[in-house]
Amino acid sequence: MLSLGLLILNGDKKVIFKSSWLPWVLIAPQAFIILVFFFWPATQALVQSFQQSDVFGTKVEWNGLENFASLWRDDTYLASFKTTAIFSILVAGLGISLSLFLAFFADRITRGAWVYRTLLILPYAVAPVVAGVLWLFLFSPSVGLASYMLEKLGVQWNALLNSNHAMALIVIASVWKQISYNFLFFLAGFQSIPKSLIEAAAIDGASVWKRFWTIQLPLLTPTTFFLLVVNTVYAFFETFGIVDATTRGGPGKDTAILVYKVYFDGFKAMDLGGSAAQSVILMFIVISLTVIQFKYVERKVNY
Amino acid sequence: MIDRNRWLTFLTHLVLCIGVLVIVFPIYLAVVGATHSSQEMAQSPIPIWFGSEGLTNFKTILMGEGPGVTTQLPVSRMMWVSLITALCIAFGKITISLLSAFAIVYFQFPFRKTVFWGIFVTLMLPVEVRIVPTYKVIADFGMVNSFAGLTIPLIASATATFLFRQFFLTVPDELTEDVKMDGAKPMRFFWDVLLPLSKTSMAALFVIQFIYGWNQYLWPLLMSTEERMYPIVMGIRSMTAGADSQIQWNLVMSTAILALLPPALVVVLMQKWFIKGLVDTEK
Amino acid sequence: MASITLTHIQKTYGLGAKGNTVIQDFSAEIMDGEFVVIVGPSGCGKSTLLRMVAGLEEITKGDISIGNRVVNQVEPSERDIAMVFQNYALYPHMSVFDNMAYGLKIANKPLDEIKARVAKAAKILELSHLLQRKPRELSGGQRQRVAMGRAIVRQPQVFLFDEPLSNLDAKLRAQTRLEIQKLHRELGITSLFVTHDQVEAMTLAQRMIVMNGGVMEQFGTPEEVYNRPASTFVASFIGSPPMNLLKHAPDLAEGQILGIRPEHLEISDHGWALKVDTVELLGAERLVHAQFENEAITLRLDASLTAPKIGELFHAKPKEGCIHHFSAETGKRL
C-alpha cells in the first residue's frame, strides 16, 4: 500500500541528543535491510534491463536500450499496457464511485452506524488471492451462483473463453476488495465537513441532492484525488493475487496486467532481461504517480 | 436535524443494507460452502443455507488427510507459516522503524538528510516491482524456503518509519528536556517516555502490518518452492489449480474461511486502532 | 416579510423519564418587520429556540408560524429564511461572489438578476472589491460581512442571527452593531437576533426577550426591560454594572428585595451609611464599591465629583422613584 501524503520535511526537533555512534546503531537494522533487499536489487534490475542473458544465465551481453525498444515493438507488451490501463480505470472508477455512494448514506445515520461499518470493512482483511478464489467460486461455470443466475438471464458465462467475462471477473473481485478502504476514507471525509456548512446550504434552499453536488462533493476533492492515486497503484500492483487466482492472465494474455507479465516473463518464461526492463518501466510509473500525488498534496488547498 | 424525511431515512438504510449484503455475500457463501460435503457443492444450484459437514471439512483440511485433498500438506502447517510470517513482519517492521524514527528525529548526525531520503524512496517501490533481482539476492544468501527470506525483504519499506516520525515530532520538547536534565541516556528516554506514548500508533500499525504479512502472496510464491513453507494464501491457490469441475469447493471454502479469519478478527476487534492507523499513515 | 409566532414551545432531548427539557412552555409573538433580540446566559436555550425557528432542530411540542404558515414540518430550505451563523459557515471552496449568489442559483434565478443583487449587497457591505476572493483570504470582519451579504441577497421573509458578533474584537463588534442597525432601517426585514451580550441586546433590539433556563423572563422594549425589570434575574443581567439587589435596607418589608441601579444613588449628608471598599475610575465615571449593612453595593458617580476614599464612611441616598421591589422567594417584580 502506497502511503504518501503530507510529509513535513521541516519541523525538526529542537531538543536533540548528542552522540556520535548511537544514531548509526539505531539506523543500522533498517539501513542494512534497505540496502541489501531494496537498493541493491533495484540497481540490479536497472542494470539487468540493459542486458541480455540466456536461459541458463551464463552468458550476459550488454544490450543497451534494446530491451526497452523490443518491448516497445512487442505487441503483447503494448497489449498488456492497454489491458492494465483499462483495468485500472475500471477498478478505480467503480471502486471510488461505489464507496462514495455508500459513504454518503453511511454519513447520514447515527444509530447503528458501527454495524454497517464493521461489516463493510471485512473485505480489507481478505487477501487479494482469497478474494479471487471467492469470486472464482461465485462465477464458477459449473456451480457458481452468479453464473447460474446469469444463465437464467440468457448470458452464457465463461471466463475461460470470453475476454470480457474474464476482465469483468477480475474487475469485480478487485473492486470488491478495495471498497472497504475507499469507504473508510470517504466516510472520514464526509464527517470532516462542518455541520454548519450543510445547515447553511439547507437554509439557502438547497435540497439533499443539491447539497451533495455543490457542497460535499467539491469539498471531498482532496480525498477523491488521493484515492484515485491509491486505487491506481492498487490496480497496478496489489491485484496480482486476484489475477493469479482467477484468470491467470487469460484467456490467452487478455487479462495479463503489467505486474503479472513481469512475474510470468521473469519466472515462467525466464526472460530476465525483458522482465527487468518491464520492472524498470513499472518503477518509473509508480514514481511518477507518487510524485504527482505528493506534489498535489503539497499544493493542497487548506480550507 | 434537517431532512426529517421518513422516506429518505428508509432509503438510507435500504441502500446500506443492500451494500452490506453484497459485500458480505461472498464471505457468507464461503461459510455455507465450508459446511457442506463435496457432493452437495458439486451440483448447481448450490445450497445457500448451512450444512452439517463443517467439522468434517475443517478436520480434513487441517489434518491434510481424507478424500479429495489436493495438497499433501495440512492446512494447519500453512496457517502456522502464515502466522509466523505475519507476526515477524509486524513486529520486525515496528521495531526497526521505531529505532530509525527515533534516530532521525532526536539525533543530529552527518548525512541525516540523505538517510531520511533514502528511507523515503522505499515508499515508492513495492516489492512487486523488484521481484526478480530481490529473489536473486535471497537465493544467493541461501534464504529461499526460509522464514527469513519470507519476511526480511518485506520489512524494508518506510511506512512505519514515517508514521513514527510524524508522531515523535508531536511529542512536546519539555519531556525531552526533563529527561536530559536528569542526566539520563537517550535510550532511557526512548524506553521510559517515547515507547509508552507510542502505544496507540504501535497498535494501529500492528493491525495493518499483520494483515499485510498474513495476506502476502506474490513474494511467498517466489520464495517458497517447498510446500512446507507455503502460507495459507498460497495453499488455497493451489487447491484451485485444476479444472473447474475438479475443484473441491467445500474444502476450498473451508480453507478460505481459515485464510481470512485471523485478519478479519484482528480488523474487527481492533477496529478503532485500524481506522486510526489507516488515516494516520495517509496524512 | 412576516411575523413569527411561537406558541407553547417545548424542547426535550431524549425520551421518557430520562428526557432533558431545555425549553418549557415558551410563547412569543414577533411582529412583521420587528428586530427582536433574544438575550441570556450560555445554555439558557436561546440558540435552540433560534434553530427551531430555522428548522434545524425538531420541535417537541408547540407550534412555530412564519407569516401565517405553521412551519413545524417545513424543511429549512422551504421556509424562506436566511441565517447568519456564529462561525459564518461560508463555503470555503467558493469565492465571495459565489457564496452570496449560492441561494439565488439554487432558486434558478436569471444570471443578470443574481449579479445585480450581489453587487447591490456587496456595495452596502463594502465587499465589492473582494468578490473574487476565497473565504480563507479574508479577515474575520470581512467574513462576517460576507455571511450577512449572503443573507441579504436572498431577500427572505425572516433574518436569523446566531451570535454573529461573538468572534469579532470589541472595536469591530461596535462597528458592526451600527451597520446591522442601519441595514435593518433600510431593509426592514423581520429579524431574530440571539446573543449573550446585553450591550448588543440593548443597542440593537426594538424589543428583547430575556431568557434564563429555558424560560422567558421578560419580553419588552429596552426601556421597559431596563427601567422596569420583571425579575431579579433581568435586573442583574441587564445594565452594567448590574443593579444592586439588597436584602436589608431601611423600610424594606420581610421577604422583599430592594433594587437600585448604581447610577441612581447620590452622595448625601444623611441616608444610607456606606463604607468604601474599592474605587474604579472609568474615565467619565467612577465606580465606588462599598459595603452597606454587610452587603456589597456599587455606586456610579460622575468623575468630576470628589470621590470618597477607600475605607472612608459616607452617606448615599437613592433617587426618587428609582427603587424597585422584588419578592425574595420568586424573584419577581412586586
CATH of the domain at A259: 1.10.3720.10
Cell 493469479 -> residue: A244
Distance from CA of A141 to the nearest CA of B (A): 7
Q: Give the percent of chain C with pLDDT over 70.
A: 100
Residue A298: C-alpha distances to residues A226, A302, B160, B169, B281 (Å): 12, 10, 21, 19, 16
Co-location of C53 and C111 in the same domain? yes
What's the sign of the alpha-carbon dihedral C153, C158, C160, C165? positive
CA distance B108 to B115: 12
Assess if residue C239 is contained within a domain.
Answer: no
C211 touches chain A (CB under 8 A): no
Which grid cell sits at B131? 521481484
Taking Cα atoms as reference points, which of C257, C226, C221, C261 lies closest to residue C241? Answer: C261
Assess if residue C334 is contained within a domain.
Answer: no
CATH of B75-281, one of 1.10.3720.10, 3.40.50.150, 3.40.640.10, 1.20.1600.10: 1.10.3720.10
DSSP designation for C301: E
Co-location of C269 and C230 in the same domain? no
Q: How many cross-chain Cβ pairs, A to B, lie less than 8 Å apart?
A: 324
- Kindly determine whether residue B2 and residue C58, on different chains, have CB atoms separated by under 8 Å: no
Residues of chain C in contact with residue B3, where contact means CB-CB under 8 angstroms, are 75
Co-location of C95 and C125 in the same domain? yes
Is residue C203 within 8 A of residue C177, CB to CB? The reply is: yes
Residues of chain C in contact with residue B4, where contact means CB-CB under 8 angstroms, are 58, 73
How many alpha carbons fall within 13 Å on the CB side of residue B9? 11
Q: Give the percent of chain C with pLDDT over 90.
A: 67
Which of B6, B10, B16, B193 best probes binding to A when mutated, by most A CB atoms within 10 angstroms?
B16
Three-class secondary structure of residue B43 per DSSP:
coil
Residues in chain B: 283
Mean pLDDT of chain C: 91
Distance from CA of B11 to the nearest CA of C (A): 18
Co-location of C8 and C112 in the same domain? yes
Interface residues of chain A, partner chain C, Cβ below 8 Å: 194, 196-197, 199-207, 210, 214-215, 218-219, 221, 301-303
What are residue A10's phi and psi, to 5 degrees? -90, -160
Tell me the longest C-alpha to C-alpha distance in chain B: 76
pLDDT at C31 over 70: yes
Tally of domains in chain C: 2
pLDDT at C97 over 60: yes
Q: What residues form DSSP beta bridges with A53? A: A60
CB-nearest to B217 from A24, A127, A138 is: A127
CA distance B156 to B127: 10
Which grid cell sits at C213? 433556563
- Kindly determine whether residue A204 and residue C106, on different chains, have CB atoms separated by under 8 Å: yes
Which parts of chain B fold into alpha helices (H)?
6-34, 54-63, 75-106, 112-121, 131-141, 147-151, 159-169, 173-181, 186-189, 195-197, 199-214, 218-223, 232-239, 249-269, 271-281
CA distance A104 to B15: 10
Assess if residue C223 is contained within a domain.
Answer: yes
Out of C170, C204, C234, pick the residue that ends a domain. C234
pLDDT at C245 over 80: yes
Q: Closest chain A residue to C104 measured between Cα atoms?
A: A204
- Kindly determine whether residue A219 and residue C93, on different chains, have CB atoms separated by under 8 Å: yes
Residues of chain B in contact with residue C56, where contact means CB-CB under 8 angstroms, are 1-2
- Can you list the residues of chain A whose pLDDT is less than 50? 1-10, 301-303
How are strands ordered across the β-sheet holding C256-260?
C244-246, C256-260, C324-327
Q: Closest chain A residue to C154 measured between Cα atoms?
A: A204
Tally of domains in chain A: 1
State the pairing for strand pair C81-84/C69-70. Answer: unpaired
pLDDT tens-digit readout, B171-210: 888 888 887 777 778 888 888 888 888 888 898 889 989 9
Which grid cell sits at C204? 440593537
Taking Cα atoms as reference points, which of C168, C333, A129 lies closest to residue B241? Answer: A129
Q: Supply the pLDDT for residue A55.
A: 57
CA distance A169 to B101: 42
Assess if residue C241 is contained within a domain.
Answer: no
- Kindly determine whether residue C82 and residue A204, on different chains, have CB atoms separated by under 8 Å: yes
Q: Supply the pLDDT for residue A54.
A: 60
A6 touches chain B (CB under 8 A): yes
pLDDT tens-digit readout, A31-65: 888 888 888 888 877 777 777 766 565 556 676 77
DSSP C152-196: HHT--SEEEEESTTTTS-HHHHHHHHHHHHHHHHHH--EEEEEES
Task: Give the residue-averaged pLDDT of B251-266.
Answer: 90
DSSP designation for B44: S
Q: Supply the pLDDT for residue C106.
A: 92
- Kindly determine whether residue B2 and residue C76, on different chains, have CB atoms separated by under 8 Å: yes
Co-location of C275 and C222 in the same domain? no
State the pairing for strand pair C207-212/C20-30. Answer: unpaired
- Check: complex ipTM more than 0.90: no
CB-nearest to C93 from A199, A204, A303 is: A303
pLDDT at C82 over 90: yes
Which grid cell sits at A242? 486476484
Residues in chain C: 334
Number of other CB atoms surrounding residue C269 within 10 Å: 7
Assess if residue A146 is contained within a domain.
Answer: yes
Q: How many cross-chain Cβ pairs, A to C, lie less than 8 Å apart?
A: 67
A103 touches chain B (CB under 8 A): no
pLDDT at B81 over 60: yes
Q: Supply the pLDDT for residue C89.
A: 93
Q: Closest chain A residue to C102 measured between Cα atoms?
A: A204
Is residue C331 within 8 A of residue C236, CB to CB? The reply is: no
- Kindly determine whether residue C75 and residue B3, on different chains, have CB atoms separated by under 8 Å: yes
Assess if residue C12 is contained within a domain.
Answer: yes
Full domain range(s) for residue C286: 249-327
Residue C68: C-alpha distances to residues C62, C78, C151 (Å): 15, 14, 22
CATH of the domain at C45: 3.40.50.300
Assess if residue C183 is contained within a domain.
Answer: yes
pLDDT at C200 over 80: yes
Q: Supply the pLDDT for residue B8.
A: 85
Which of A111, A198, A203, A221 best probes binding to C when mutated, by most C CB atoms within 10 angstroms?
A203
Q: Supply the pLDDT for residue A6.
A: 37
- Kindly determine whether residue C87 and residue A303, on different chains, have CB atoms separated by under 8 Å: no
Out of C209, C234, C259, pick the residue that ends a domain. C234
CA distance A147 to A158: 8
CA distance A135 to A138: 5
Q: Closest chain C residue to B6 measured between Cα atoms?
A: C73
CA distance A141 to A166: 12
CA distance A185 to A162: 35
CA distance A94 to A113: 23
- Kindly determine whether residue B137 and residue A36, on different chains, have CB atoms separated by under 8 Å: yes
Residues of chain B in contact with residue A130, where contact means CB-CB under 8 angstroms, are 215, 233, 236, 256, 259-260
Q: Supply the pLDDT for residue A1.
A: 33
Residues of chain C in contact with residue B7, where contact means CB-CB under 8 angstroms, are none
Task: Give the residue-averaged pLDDT of B239-244.
Answer: 78
CA C85 remoteness from chain centre: 15
Torsion of CA B171, B174, B177, B181, to 10 degrees: -140
CA distance A184 to B278: 9
Q: Supply the pLDDT for residue A303.
A: 36
How are strands ordered across the β-sheet holding C295-302?
C265-268, C313-318, C272-281, C285-292, C295-302
CA distance C58 to C51: 9
CA C155 remoteness from chain centre: 23
- Kindly determine whether residue C103 and residue A194, on different chains, have CB atoms separated by under 8 Å: no
Out of C174, C201, C234, pick the residue that ends a domain. C234
Interface residues of chain B, partner chain C, Cβ below 8 Å: 1-4
Full domain range(s) for residue A248: 73-298
C166 touches chain A (CB under 8 A): no
Q: Supply the pLDDT for residue A75.
A: 83
What are residue B140's phi and psi, to 5 degrees? -65, -35
Report the amino acid identity of residue C331: G
Is residue A52 within 8 A of residue A273, CB to CB? The reply is: yes
Assess if residue A241 is contained within a domain.
Answer: yes
- Kindly determine whether residue C76 and residue B4, on different chains, have CB atoms separated by under 8 Å: no
Assess if residue C148 is contained within a domain.
Answer: yes
Assess if residue C243 is contained within a domain.
Answer: no
Q: Supply the pLDDT for residue A76.
A: 83
Interface residues of chain C, partner chain B, Cβ below 8 Å: 55-58, 73, 75-77
Q: Supply the pLDDT for residue C251.
A: 81
Is residue B280 within 8 A of residue B201, CB to CB? The reply is: yes
Assess if residue A209 is contained within a domain.
Answer: yes
Which grid cell sits at A153? 438471464
Crossing angle between the packed helical segments A66-73 and A272-298, to the nearest 10 degrees? 90
A172 touches chain B (CB under 8 A): no
Taking Cα atoms as reference points, which of C254, C215, C173 lies closest to residue C28? Answer: C215
Phi-psi region of B141 (alpha: psi -120 to 50; beta: other; left: phi over 0): alpha
Q: What residues form DSSP beta bridges with C292? A: C295
Residues of chain C in contact with residue A111, where contact means CB-CB under 8 angstroms, are none
Which grid cell sits at A211? 447539497
Q: Residues 6 or more apart from B67 whose CB is under 8 A from it?
A: B38, B60
- Kindly determine whether residue A205 and residue C91, on different chains, have CB atoms separated by under 8 Å: no
